[in-house]
């Protein structure tokens, strides 16, 4: 029969072993990236700046604002087909789906600039954001356009997202680089 001291020592040894196994297993999965910071986006003649603000302390969910500096020749041609001459800033929701990748959806508008601007196309872009390092990521995405007449209730989103878009979807990819803090 085991004494109380031996049972206590055995219990502590088992707990220490379990703790070691759990911590080593957790650390072997690698670093989990957080959604935060200021980024640039480039690819296919498109250039944008994105500011990401965590929506929870873990950094697993976030919102972002994308300022489109240039849209590139292909998107400019598509915009011209619907009589648009500019893209608005994009509003983004994003959520981590693994330690190094996230899924996102962005909403922006192609407009004919004026006073006031006239919405020519509601654009929804979605895809995955995959970290390739602490300060770089790539996206694989597809964007599609919906005519403003498909927003009968006026909330800025197409009312019938289950139906095919009026334009696209068009696949793409971009490289994101975190803006560094300079001395």
Residues 60-103 have pLDDT tens digits of 999 999 999 999 999 999 999 999 999 999 999 999 999 999 99
User: Which of 9-23, 70-84, 104-118, 157-171 is the least confident region?
Assistant: 9-23
Contacts 24+ apart (CB under 8 A), 106-111: 106/64, 106/66, 106/143, 107/156, 107/157, 108/66, 108/68, 109/156, 110/79, 110/82, 110/84, 110/86, 110/145, 111/84, 111/85, 111/86, 111/87
Q: What is the CA radius of gyration of the chain?
A: 23
Q: What distance separates the 2 farthest-apart alpha carbons in the chain?
A: 89
Q: What percentage of the chain exceeds 70 in pLDDT?
A: 84
| pTM of this structure | 0.80
What does the buried/exposed string (b/e) look like for 64-100 if buried means 16 or more CB atoms within 10 Å of the residue's CB?
Answer: bebebeebbeebbebbeeeebeebbebebebebeeeb
Higher pLDDT residue, 50 or 59? 50
Name the pLDDT band for 136 (thresholds 50, 70, 90). very high
């Amino acid at each position: 029969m085991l004494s109380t001291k031996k049972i206590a020592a055995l219990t502590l040894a088992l707990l220490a072993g379990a703790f070691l196994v759990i911590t080593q297993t957790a650390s072997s999965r690698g670093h989990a990236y957080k959604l935060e910071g200021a980024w640039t986006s480039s690819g296919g003649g498109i250039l944008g700046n994105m500011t990401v603000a965590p929506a929870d302390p873990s950094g697993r969910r976030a919102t972002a604002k994308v300022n489109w500096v240039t849209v590139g020749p292909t998107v400019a041609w598509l915009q011209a087909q619907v009589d648009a001459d500019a893209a608005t800033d994009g509003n983004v929701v994003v959520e981590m789906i693994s330690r190094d990748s996230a899924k996102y959806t962005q909403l922006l508008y192609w407009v004919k600039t004026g006073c006031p601007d006239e919405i020519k196309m509601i654009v929804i872009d979605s895809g995955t954001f995959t970290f390739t390092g602490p300060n770089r990521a790539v996206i694989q995405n597809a964007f599609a356009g919906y005519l403003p007449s498909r927003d009968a209730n006026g909330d800025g989103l197409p009312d019938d997202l289950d139906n095919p878009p009026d334009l696209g979807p068009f696949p793409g990819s971009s490289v994101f680089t975190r803006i560094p803090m300079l001395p």
